Structure 1
Amino acid sequence: MKTKNKQIITAVLHGSMNTKSAAHHFNVSERWVKELMRRYAFEGEQAFEPRSKRPKTAPHRISDTVRSKIIDLRQELTAKGLDAGAETIQIHLEKAKIKAPAKSTIHRILRQANQVTNQPQKRPKNSLIRFEADLPNECWQADFTHWALADGSDTEILDFIDDHSRYLVSIHAYRRVTGKNVYTQFVKACTEHGRPQSTLTDNGLVFTTRFSGRKDGDRSGKNLFEKQLQTWNIRQINGSPNHPQTQGKVERFHRTLKQWLSALPRAQSLAKLNEQLSEFATIYNTQRPHKGAGRRTPETAYLALPKATPTTLPKDEHRIRKDIIDSDGKLTLRYAGKLRHLGMGRAYAGTPIRMLVNDRDVVVINRKTGEILRYFKIDPTRNYQKAIPRPE
């Protein structure tokens, strides 16, 4: 480039070329030839040297102060066992009234400072299908996880979180979580925060006895937690067996909890562990912004909207109704002010029947033969009702 610039200038100054013919001969623009002549007039032979294309100013360049703050936040949050990703750091910078760079820029700064560990095993975010309750208290997820004390002995930590806001409704550690612990902690949480419309848990015996095959001296076979849910008209939802992704929010919460606990000295006793859990609940709910809660703290998201409440169900509703199964194999029944469609099957189309309705339990009987055709347990949240196996 230096040689070419010199040739252009020499051709115009000492040769027979004007700027236009020089531009044509050297295959450059006439504007560039004039610029070289202007530089030569002011700078002499310095005009032969190629110039850097780097801009004279960089208004968007990250200052060393902000760069250092990003790295300090990363180290500080990590040391406390808190999330320290680019988005979290961005939020902390904004809270400190510092103009925050883009998340990609923060991540690049962390990578340049060797503060990022590659995790190729992580599932791509675009492969996740997320479900979220529309209102606070619409659904509480519950589960328990294990944590060892300083002497190596095991404990179990039971927690309830709000599906909509990720608000930690209740958390407590036990030597071993029992059905009574679940019942007592749930009732206390309801007293403090109101009753949820539904609960979502796995199929552990402390949450449900539906797969246990035992009756525990009670005709219904339900445990204390299940009975309380039924008494308060709270819908109980249980995840599919061997599919923990259904309770994904509470599973992710346990990772956050253990990351925080790992940054502390191991508790010497159960009482000390519960003190740590109480401190964590305050930090998690009121200080730590959560991406799933719209970059707000869970407490802010939990209090931002009115809370859902259990669906009011009719009590002790006894009635007998005659009908004929329609051509699509369905019956209709009004329950809790809405028409419900009971799926009987097209094989029964045109069959005259009698329905015995007792609250949510419906028995469908063939009026001509007296044969019981179907059993139903009305789900107030659905219009279409599927038949259930014959109750024991």
Structure 2
Amino acid sequence: MSKLSKEQIEWIIKAKVNGKLTNKEIADVQGISISRVQQLYREYKRTGVIHVQKRAGRHKQPLPESVRNEIVELYRKYRFSASYIGKILREEGLHIDNDRINQVLKEAGFAMSEPKKWHRKKWIRYEREYSNSLWHVDWHMIKDQRWKGLWLIVYEDDSSRFITGYGVYPSPTSKYSVDVLKKAIEKYGKPEQILFDHGTTFYGVEADERDKGITEFEKFLIKEKITLIVGRVDHPQTNGKVEKFFDIFEKKVKFFNTVDEFMNWYNFIRPHGAFDIERLETPAMIFYKRLPKKEIIDQSFFDMLERGV
């Protein structure tokens, strides 16, 4: 049976009603059989409605309430997109396409229809083999209304994406950068290298001090024998991992009461897309797994790791 569009079927019915063409002439124009023309017209005469063919395929059964609830709970816990939730469900033996998952989230008030996103070219992901090999650092002016105008600094481990240190301050300075770095080292050990962008506000506000000599931040790195790597000018991809983190922060912090709550969620609860989603691998898990000297970890890390799991 030939597949006819709505417009074709409407034309066939109008041609029959007008009576100017025979069944054979109508069938020849549309490339269908005479009996098909007669069938469509009989259906129209019987119902008074122009018949439109339904899309072929098996009707999907509604998802069980237990599965719908699990989808909603996974989103509430991890704030994941439909594709990541689908990966977790497949690990449990549930094969549900992303459109159905997204529909469940929309009905629960969590997901919104979005325009198709452009796809960038594939690239080779580079990351250090071990934790504490390299930390990224950067400042970010917060957009969330609760802390709008304040500055967030983060130190992110390159290998694991674990946030080793962070703080919220009225302005970006070397002193604040050193304060946060000292606390991070006390809890998680010392990185071999630290990378930041040459053209960031973090570097720019120290211009006056640089005229007089090196900044307080640089002095601290020299004292601790930590190598400083300065990224390329106007090339944010150099520090792309921490830029991606700030993007996640702005999108997800609205679900949390404090920055501390968000950071704990990001480090210890939310599986990271760079690792094994099916195994729910978090930045904290990977940080410890790839850490050469595990004895330096603060006990609070293990407490949070256990709660997150």
Give the structure-1-normalised TM-score. Answer: 0.51
Superposition TM-score, scaled by structure 2 size: 0.63
The question of 1:117 aligning with 2:102 is answered: no
Deviation, 1:145, is: 1.2
Map of 2:218 onto structure 1: 226
Within 5 A, what are the aligned runs for 1:77-116?
82-91=79-88, 98-101=92-95, 105-111=96-102, 115=111
Tell me the equivalent position of 1:305: 290
Distance 1:66 1:149, change over 3 A: closer
Residues 269-299 of structure 1 deviation map (CA, whole Å, 9 limit, x = unaligned) = xxxxxxx121112111111111213331111
Q: Within 2, Cα distance between the matches of 1:143 and 1:167? A: 14
- Ranges in structure 1 where 5+ consecutive residues have no aligned partner: 2-53, 56-60, 266-275, 310-392
The answer to whether the aligner puts 1:261 opposite 2:249 as a matched pair is no
Q: What is the 5 A alignment of 1:362-377?
A: none
> Which of the pair is proportionally richer in strand?
1
State the Cα RMSD in Å.
3.7
For 2:202 and 2:148, locate their aligned partners in 1 and report how far apart those are by CA, in whole Å: 24
Q: Residues 182 and 206 of structure 1 are in contact (CA less than 8 Å); yes or no, is this contact kept in structure 2?
A: no
Q: Confirm or deny that 1:288 pairs with 2:283.
A: no
5 Å matches for 1:10-21?
none
What does 1:7-86 correspond to in 2, within 5 Å?
63-65=63-65, 67-69=67-69, 71-73=71-73, 76=76, 82-86=79-83
Count of paired positions: 232
Counterpart amino acid of 2:194?
T
Contact 1:202–1:238, Cα closer than 8 Å, also in 2 = yes
Q: Aligned letter for 1:277?
A: V
**Mapped partners of 1:278, 1:151: distance in 2:** 14
Look up the equivalent residue of 1:242 and give its one-letter code. Answer: D
In structure 2, the residue corresponding to 1:189 is in which secondary structure? helix
User: 2:160 aligned with 1:140, yes or no?
Assistant: no
Query: In structure 1, what residue type is equivalent to 2:267?
Result: N
Letter in 1 for 2:165: S
CA displacement at 1:252 relative to structure 2: 0.9
Residues 150 and 100 from structure 1, CA distance in 2 versus in 1: closer, same or farther, beyond 3 angstroms? same
Name the residue aligned to 2:171. Answer: 176
1:180 Cα deviation from its structure 2 partner: 0.7
Cα 1:249/1:264, change in 2 over 3 Å = same
Corresponding residue SS for 2:266: helix
Q: Compare relative contact order (CA 8 Å, sep 6+) and give the higher one, 1 or 2.
A: 2
* Matching residue's letter, 1:240: R
**Counterpart in 1 of 2:238?**
246
- The 1:139/1:230 distance shift into structure 2, 3 A limit, reads same
Structure 2 residues without counterparts, runs of 5 or longer: 2-56, 295-309
Distance 1:152 1:137 in 2: 30
Does residue 193 (structure 1) correspond to residue 159 (structure 2)? The answer is: no
| Counterpart in the other structure of 1:279 | 261
Distance, in Å, in 1 between the alignment partners of 2:172 and 2:209 is 19
How many Å separate the matches in 1 of 2:140 and 2:268? 23
Tell me which amino acid in the other structure corresponds to 1:68: R
Find 1:129's aligned residue among 117, 124, 128: 124
1:132, CA displacement in angstroms?
0.6
3-state SS in 1 of match to 2:136: strand
Q: What is the CA–CA distance in structure 2 between the aligned matches of 1:308 and 1:207, rounded to whole Å?
A: 30
Structure with bigger gyration radius: 1
Q: CA deviation at 1:144?
A: 1.6
